[in-house]
Structure 1
């Protein structure tokens, strides 16, 4: 078998008419005399193989001219800062209609497109997300695969648009970074004293109200130049640009789901989004892990819902409740079981050595009975995982009012579990039977991505939401913060039954 790269070189040297016109199509006379063939172009085995497998039919050329999608691709590359003078020169030369120039432009456009797709859809270099189920992690497509998908698309123009749609956070933060650079980064980056004058603030902000700076940068909107606000101003625009870029990197851990739907939970802002076909269709507030028990960054599949659930307490909370003895069991409607097995025996709480349980010398299981008092509320959504994390209802509605909603022991409490239930079940809400722990499988599993974003897209560009788990890495702080995160949420600390 001949080397595919040599085949492409041979096509280039021979004139490449087969590449530019369908077999058997009439060739129109050209008023432009064919130029001398350009130097052979080595595009690599994958691209050469792609053209060989399609009979050397072009991707970016129709008849004797470049397709409009070639210009569309050039605009995408330019916007991404990937402008290639050699590619632009080849495209400009191809406008002559010379078959050799058209062939060279087609090959270079394919190479640039495949490189762009592979870079744009790569997984982040420092990916902390744990993928519980297969198929949830982003996969960098091969060069040949990227070209084959483009060639098979019903509309190449629509496919080019879809390539840039990874997820709403990546898209929003990418455009938000451009807006930040065009706005806040162009202001005078002067250093302010601890108590700046009104004139110094006006110069630093270019006349923009201080309240607007505070709103965008995640500060209390007071209009006063307090110490935190002055420190944020003195960080400078480059600091916040790096934060946006870091959050784009975090968001790229979520792959593109162009024709599917998934749930995205942000533990920094304590919000949840329902996403269909790459667009947000609904949102709600959530309650996530407290700072000592942070909700982990993870991805899993919600496979079923449990109606009228028990709440099985994790070991650390069992030891905490044990300090209250039998009275605490009655007050919180807790049943005492001999273990976690399906055949566990009910124990009389008055005959349990609660001091031994609190000290960890005696092991029992505690579960809260179903009902309006139950920490799980009336429903929980299960994505089986070894961390014991899931999404659930809650009877404590008042906890959704504060801006800071980091109150749970690790699980995600839902502001409106019924609304999510209707979405997950496509409007066909299952009927509860009244029995405890009624399992109802979803029509199909739905991915949920639990992430951590300290910058989010907004209508004006981007807003910063704070760093409650202190995961933003700055020079000199990364080892300390990573160690603190590990101490705050060791995996052994999490129970397989869930944390609530």
Structure 2
């Protein structure tokens, strides 16, 4: 009896506490502002909706189930932006249907009513779609880039990392507009592809090559040109034709002079499908670079024979460069510029020793070596002995039966100039000064054996060091570490972003056909 009375007393106290708590909760609910209640309802709805994907569930759990696409009880404009991205995913070489744009559009429409459950469903679908899309866009194909360090190789992020990028962006709308999960080259080229899709498909008529066509030309090809531009064939090369040619030139990033020269005719004969294929190919080349290029970096485009210095996403300087000849092309690479060498030797490549130096000695005698300030070494070790030219069988060197190490001493006539910039790699590629300034004035600057010759090496040194270091006397090979090593990216863009759109360039290394064929092969199916 005593036990029962105690238990009843306990139940009575528990009921009293429960009623008191409910009363307090009712007061708190009555006092809570409506937005807080709506947010609490949305958070709970997100918690319930998130259970389908373990990785995405963990992401939301870590942020207390706070949404990233819903603000103020409604979907932000970013939802429509993401819908547009997946609807145009074929620009990325992807199948838009893989991202279920109709389902995304329906979810956005249903969420417009403001129901927490509908908003939560849209939040989950948008996040899942975004994560899958980012992962697929970041999945780079092999474009022949040499990565000197593993961290430069593009990686496919996890879904959580993809979503963290969106959640941590200062402005989600700007992040989507700039395609912030990719490097800037990729985003600009994708925009160029979208612009070119707006061009109407012109008649499939080939305009033969020949002299430049201009206003007043009586060349029979004017008739063909007018037909190719979609005009009545009968008629002169008048202002309307010149304006149509200018429109084409602007679309391809060329000087808009209204004259139909060889390059303009070649671009006109491309056709929109071929143009889009070239844009797709160069998107893949941009995709093969890291998503984050770094705060400061050097970019060399071998197709343009030009170098840019970048800081915080902006080009702060540019210069002409000489790159590899078509028989010895400059490779696409990603590495780290770590040190500068002042008073460098020039280690002559073995093929040049065979073809030029051995031939020169056989033609002029041993004086050829001394007059060009070369020296001959026994091997490639640090303890190599110097050899006299008379001790060498030059016929054996010329025929390729003997390989010889030859280097040119530092000085004004040295092929390396006053300095070279080193990003260690197994290919022996680097950036360097040059005494041969005339080659930098050429339009097609394809003269090196693969390395990159600089128009203004001291300017690059000032950018790297602030105050460029000076050589201490004439001692050869003075190595000076860069205070803040910077990435160096050597790419090859036959379609490249320009302030006015994109520019089409000559495929000087003939890489496009091979890589286009590989690009058009269906990729292997991958599990998500």
User: TM-score range, shorter-chain basis?
Assistant: 0.7 to 0.9
Partner of 2:203 in structure 1?
189
1:177-209: CA deviation from partner (whole Å, max 9, x where unpaired): 222232xx3153241464854243124225453
Sort the Cα spacing of 1:122 and 1:424 in 2 relative to 1 into closer, same or farther, 3 A. farther
Moved over 6 A (4+): 37-42, 217-222, 474-479
Does 2:282 align with 1:247?
yes
Sort the Cα spacing of 1:464 and 1:440 in 2 relative to 1 into closer, same or farther, 3 A. same
Q: CA deviation at 1:335?
A: 1.0
Q: Which has the larger displacement, 67-76 or 339-348?
A: 67-76
Q: CA deviation at 1:298?
A: 1.7
Partner of 1:49 in structure 2?
58
User: Normalising by the residue count of structure 2, what TM-score does the alignment of the two structures yield?
Assistant: 0.76
Sort the Cα spacing of 1:421 and 1:385 in 2 relative to 1 into closer, same or farther, 3 A. same
User: Matched residue of 1:288: which SS?
Assistant: strand
Q: How does 1:137-156 map to 2 (within 5 A)?
A: 137-156=153-172
Does 2:434 align with 1:399?
no
> Is contact 1:299–1:447 with CA below 8 Å preserved after alignment?
yes
> Is contact 1:202–1:208 with CA below 8 Å preserved after alignment?
yes
> Is contact 1:187–1:204 with CA below 8 Å preserved after alignment?
no
Q: How does 1:155-194 map to 2 (within 5 A)?
A: 155-161=171-177, 163-164=179-180, 166-182=182-198, 185-186=199-200, 188-192=202-206, 194=208
Q: CA deviation at 1:238?
A: 1.2
Q: Which has the larger displacement, 211-220 or 363-372?
A: 211-220
User: Matched residue of 2:182: which SS?
Assistant: coil
Does 2:484 align with 1:460?
no
Partners of 1:394 and 1:26 in 2: CA distance: 72
1:315-357: CA deviation from partner (whole Å, max 9, x where unpaired): 1112221222223212211011111211111222233222222
Q: Which protein is bigger by CA-based radius of gyration?
A: 2
Sort the Cα spacing of 1:474 and 1:374 in 2 relative to 1 into closer, same or farther, 3 A. closer
> Is contact 1:168–1:280 with CA below 8 Å preserved after alignment?
no
Partner of 1:202 in structure 2?
226
Partners of 1:446 and 1:475 in 2: CA distance: 29
Does 2:360 align with 1:324?
yes
Unpaired segments ≥5 residues, structure 2? 1-30, 91-95, 209-218, 231-239, 520-528
Q: How does 1:3-402 map to 2 (within 5 A)?
A: 43-67=52-76, 69-74=78-83, 76-77=85-86, 84-123=101-140, 125-161=141-177, 163-164=179-180, 166-182=182-198, 185-186=199-200, 188-192=202-206, 194=208, 197-205=221-229, 207-209=240-242, 212=246, 213=248, 216=252, 223=259, 232-257=267-292, 260-320=295-355, 321-325=357-361, 326-402=366-442
Partners of 2:462 and 2:127 in 1: CA distance: 44
Partners of 2:184 and 2:297 in 1: CA distance: 12
Partners of 2:347 and 2:153 in 1: CA distance: 30
Partners of 1:140 and 1:367 in 2: CA distance: 44
Q: CA deviation at 1:294?
A: 1.0
Partners of 1:76 and 1:148 in 2: CA distance: 19
Partners of 2:328 and 2:268 in 1: CA distance: 31
Q: CA deviation at 1:267?
A: 1.3
User: Normalising by the residue count of structure 1, what TM-score does the alignment of the two structures yield?
Assistant: 0.80
Partners of 1:433 and 1:171 in 2: CA distance: 45
Sort the Cα spacing of 1:418 and 1:43 in 2 relative to 1 into closer, same or farther, 3 A. farther
Partner of 2:233 in structure 1?
none
1:264-322: CA deviation from partner (whole Å, max 9, x where unpaired): 21112211122222332221111011111111122111110101111111211122212
Does 2:492 align with 1:430?
no
Partners of 1:430 and 1:49 in 2: CA distance: 51
User: Matched residue of 2:368: which SS?
Assistant: helix
> Is contact 1:338–1:344 with CA below 8 Å preserved after alignment?
yes
Q: CA deviation at 1:138?
A: 1.5
User: Matched residue of 2:417: which SS?
Assistant: coil
1:160-191: CA deviation from partner (whole Å, max 9, x where unpaired): 45543633432222222222232xx3153241
Does 2:429 align with 1:420?
no
> Is contact 2:205–2:224 with CA below 8 Å preserved after alignment?
no
Q: CA deviation at 1:478?
A: 7.5
> Is contact 2:294–2:487 with CA below 8 Å preserved after alignment?
no
Unpaired segments ≥5 residues, structure 1? 1-23, 480-500
Sort the Cα spacing of 1:225 and 1:310 in 2 relative to 1 into closer, same or farther, 3 A. closer
More helix by share: 2
Q: Which has the larger displacement, 385-394 or 59-68?
A: 59-68
Aligned length: 447
Partners of 1:396 and 1:103 in 2: CA distance: 66
> Is contact 2:145–2:288 with CA below 8 Å preserved after alignment?
yes
Sort the Cα spacing of 1:422 and 1:111 in 2 relative to 1 into closer, same or farther, 3 A. same
User: Matched residue of 1:324: which SS?
Assistant: helix
Partners of 2:345 and 2:142 in 1: CA distance: 38
Sort the Cα spacing of 1:208 and 1:471 in 2 relative to 1 into closer, same or farther, 3 A. farther
Sort the Cα spacing of 1:172 and 1:159 in 2 relative to 1 into closer, same or farther, 3 A. closer
Partner of 1:486 in structure 2?
none
User: Matched residue of 2:424: which SS?
Assistant: coil
